[in-house]
């Protein structure tokens, strides 16, 4: 499994709605509320060979209430 993170900027007043939609879709491993430019930090896992870009655009960015995303790809856990 390949882990990666997505920072999500939500439309105003919709952070809890977006977090609930992610949880309901059962695609996220962990969902955190954050302060700053982005509202949520979400950890995902995909099978080796799955295109992360397609996953984010098809499974994450299409959820209602999402304004912007930033994908963070990780290389090694210490």
Give the pLDDT score at 39. 98
Residue-level pLDDT, tens digit, the chain, 78 residues: 999 999 999 999 999 999 999 999 999 999 999 999 999 999 999 999 999 999 999 999 999 999 999 999 988 878
Say whether domain 2-73 belongs to CATH 3.20.20.70: no
Give the pLDDT score at 11. 98
Give the pLDDT score at 75. 86
User: Model-level pTM greater than 0.75?
Assistant: yes
In DSSP notation, 23-70 reads HHHT--SEEEE--SS-SEEEEEEE-TT--HHHHIIIIITTSTTEEEEE
Give the pLDDT score at 76. 84
């Amino acid at each position: 499994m390949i882990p990666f993170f997505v920072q999500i900027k939500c439309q105003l007043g919709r952070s809890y709605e977006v977090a609930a939609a992610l949880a309901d879709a059962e695609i996220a491993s962990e969902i955190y509320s954050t302060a700053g430019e982005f509202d949520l930090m979400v950890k995902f896992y995909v099978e080796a060979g799955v295109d992360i870009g397609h996953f984010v655009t098809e499974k994450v960015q299409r959820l209602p209430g999402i304004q912007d995303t930033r994908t963070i790809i990780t290389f090694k856990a210490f």
